[in-house]
Amino acid sequence: MADPTQTPAHRAGGEPAEPADVVFARRMRKDFQRIQMEHEFAVDEMLTKVSILRREFLHLHRYNPIEHVGSRVKTSASILQKVARLGIDPTPEAIRAGIHDIAGVRITCSFIADTYRVLDALTSQTDVGVLRVKDYIAHPKPNGYKSLHALVEIPVFLSTGPVPVTVEVQVRTIAMDFWASLEHKIYYKYDGSVPAGIVTSLTEAAELADQLDQRMEELHTEVRGVGRERAEDTTPDLDERMLLRVWDSARADARAEGDGDGDNARGPAD
């Protein structure tokens, strides 16, 4: 049988490839695919968690604190670049231990208070292990960057059993997100060496974004008070009188059935 680690040229006696390299590359490709898959599953789980929070919050408070949710899993090339840059071994164990932003979820909230509320709701879930939280809202980076960063670990249930996977969660307001995406583009445009004047303007813009966040939150709190009073008078989604009629009729049916076949005579332990 042909040696699967040798290229056709090698088998034909042509320029010999490096079988060890081929084997190494093949193994790396398999490892990387597995790592990416695990992180994709972890992202799916986080997105489900965020979606549940969003819908429940909307149901309870008639208000949606989450404006937008984005996610990404690093490509193999990007993981490999980071492996080389950090000088870590290209093994699955070393990659899992040394690179924490393979899976990323970014949640954009309407207001600052919501960023804390949403992160708290996520990190307090029993299957979410918190590895690290960095509060760049209370303590912005020198350039003005603001966001909440959390490294969390969640179990992904594979056929072989649960695997803990790390996800980087970033939570920020719309204004912070607007600023960060522009800053990111500028940083890349100048390849990291942004002219001093633009750096100063960006830092000033971060300050303006913060003022906007605070003003919007004040307005929201003011208007919400009014909304709450109004909400008392609004007709509920479900017609309560109709629900009562259905309930009465269901109880009447149950009583009639109980008289008839004795089914209701069974105790609760049945």
**Are 257 and 263 within 8 A, CB to CB?**
yes
Report the length, in residues, of the chain: 270
145 counts as binding ligand GTP under rule CB under 6 A: yes
Please identify which residue in 82, 96, 149, 220 interacts with ligand GTP, judged by CB under 6 A. 149
> Binding-site residue total for ligand GTP (CB under 6 A)?
8
Is 36 exposed, middle or buried (CB count within 10 Å of its CB: 0-12, 13-18, 19+)?
Answer: middle
- Asked if 143 touches ligand GTP (CB under 6 A), the answer is yes
The edge-to-edge listing of strands for the beta sheet with 103-109 is 66-73, 103-109, 161-173, 148-158, 129-135
72 belongs to the binding site for ligand GTP (CB under 6 A): no
| Residue 22 or 212 with smaller CB distance to ligand GTP | 212
Cβ-based nearer residue to ligand GTP, 14 or 70: 70
Site for ligand GTP in 104-123 (CB under 6 A): none
Helix extents (H) in 62-111: 76-86, 92-98
* Residue 210 lies near ligand GTP (rule: CB under 6 A): no
From 18, 38, 45, 168, the catalytic residue: 168
Q: Which of 29, 68, 141, 224 binds ligand GTP (CB under 6 A)?
A: 141
Return d(Cα 52, Cα 65) in angstroms, integer: 12
Is residue 203 near ligand GTP by the rule CB under 6 A? no
Strands (E), the chain: 66-73, 103-109, 129-135, 148-158, 161-173
If one asks whether residue 134 binds ligand GTP (CB under 6 A), the answer comes out as yes
Residue nearest ligand GTP, CB atom distance: 145
Q: Give catalytic status of residue 56 as yes or no.
A: no
What is d(CA 217, CA 250) in angstroms, rounded to the nearest whole number?
47
Footprint of ligand GTP (CB under 6 A): 134, 141, 143, 145, 149, 180, 183-184
